[in-house]
Amino acid sequence: MSEMHLLKVHFCFKKIKSLKSIKMYKFLLIILILGSCSQENQNKKDSTTQESNSVEKGKDNTPKVQESKPLSNIEVKTFPALENTFGYEIWIDGQKTVVQSTIPSVPGNKGFATEEKARKVADLVVSKIKNNQMPPSITPKELDSLGVLK
């Protein structure tokens, strides 16, 4: 501790001695700690209340669940990739959303051997997107069951 800090502590102890007893000091310290804790809890409650007030409520005062808008147009496009392989793109409502030029979940940078294999995996990704499986990750087991790894 620095010398200045020790002087401040010493000065505080002189004031404490002027109190009738150390018990009074302990009591004040407990009150101070409890007061700061309750203020912190109140701040948390206030921020939670503000967040919950911003949620739109239904007729029965329960929070409305925001429904995701249905995907109206999903399109799969295959394309030639490096080294005579293929990749795929997934377009949702006219926006390119997924571009996959390599086989997912397989080490390396190798594309699909055929256009048909790229389309099979793209179709699986589309079905996951439609079923709200996000992210629409593909596992090696799924690739094997589709016959893509052969």
Q: Tell me whether residue 34 is in a domain.
A: yes
Q: Write down the pLDDT at residue 25.
A: 55
| Number of compact structural domains in the chain | 2
81 and 40 assigned to the same domain: no
Are 86 and 126 found together in one domain?
A: yes
Where in the sequence is the domain holding 90, given as residue range(s)?
74-146
Q: Is residue 83 located within the same domain as residue 45?
A: no
For the segment 58-81, what is each residue's pLDDT rounded down to a tens digit? 555 555 444 455 566 999 999 999
- Predicted confidence band of residue 28 (pLDDT cuts 50, 70, 90): very low
Q: Which of 1-5, 50-54, 125-129 has the lowest mean pLDDT?
A: 50-54
150: confidence class by pLDDT, cuts 50, 70, 90: confident
Query: Which DSSP string corresponds to the chain?
Result: --HHHHHHHHHHHHHHHHSS-HHHHHHHHHHHHHHHHHHHHHHHHHHHHHHHHTS-B-TTSPBPPPPPPP---EEEEEEEEGGGEEEEEEEETTEEEEEE-S-TTSSSS--BSSHHHHHHHHHHHHHHHHTT-SS----HHHHHHHT---
pLDDT at 46 > cutoff 70: no
Give a yes or no: residue 95 inside a domain.
yes
The model's pTM: 0.54
- Average pLDDT of span 121-150: 93
- Which percentage of the chain shows pLDDT scores above 90? 48
